[in-house]
Amino acid sequence: SQKIEQNSEALNIQEGKTATLTCNYTNYSPAYLQWYRQDPGRGPVFLLLIRENEKEKRKERLKVTFDTTLKQSLFHITASQPADSATYLCALKGYQKVTFGTGTKLQVIP
């Protein structure tokens, strides 16, 4: 069956370091993969999209990689700040619909 896995345990890092979040999937051939940020009590906010034929995408301090052989995407936040603390969701576009992972909570410690 199709499965999207994100580390369910919270990730705690020191301010200024690079945070790396992982999204693994099985039994998917996604057309694209997206990363969203979700703050408590709010809806997810779109951050980045990477397509199946792209290896890497960058936006300011954010970087996403997509390895369709490993079936994995890595999401990096460089020079992390306390304001980056949130839950980060990956979402895969399958045949017809987008399916979300469970999210990883990131805590950036000052």
Partner 1 sequence: EAGVAQSPRYKIIEKRQSVAFWCNPISGHATLYWYQQILGQGPKLLIQFQNNGVVDDSQLPKDRFSAERLKGVDSTLKIQPAKLEDSAVYLCASRSTTDTQYFGPGTRLTVL
CB atoms within 10 A of CB 9: 8
Residue 99 in contact with residue 92, Cβ under 8 Å?
A: yes
Give counts: helices (H), strands (E), the chain: 0, 11
Work out which of 71, 75, 77, 103 binds partner 1, going by CB under 8 A: 103
* Dist. CA 97–CA 99, nearest whole Å: 6
Stretch that binds partner 1, among 4-12, 52-60, 66-74, 75-83 (CB under 8 A): 4-12
Q: Which of 11, 20, 28, 32 binds partner 1 (CB under 8 A)?
A: 32
Rule CB under 8 A: is residue 42 a binding residue for partner 1? yes
CB 19 within 8 A of CB 11: yes
Cβ at position 17, least distance to partner 1 in Å: 26
Q: Per CB under 8 A, which region of 9-17, 58-66, 70-78, 91-99 contacts partner 1?
A: 91-99
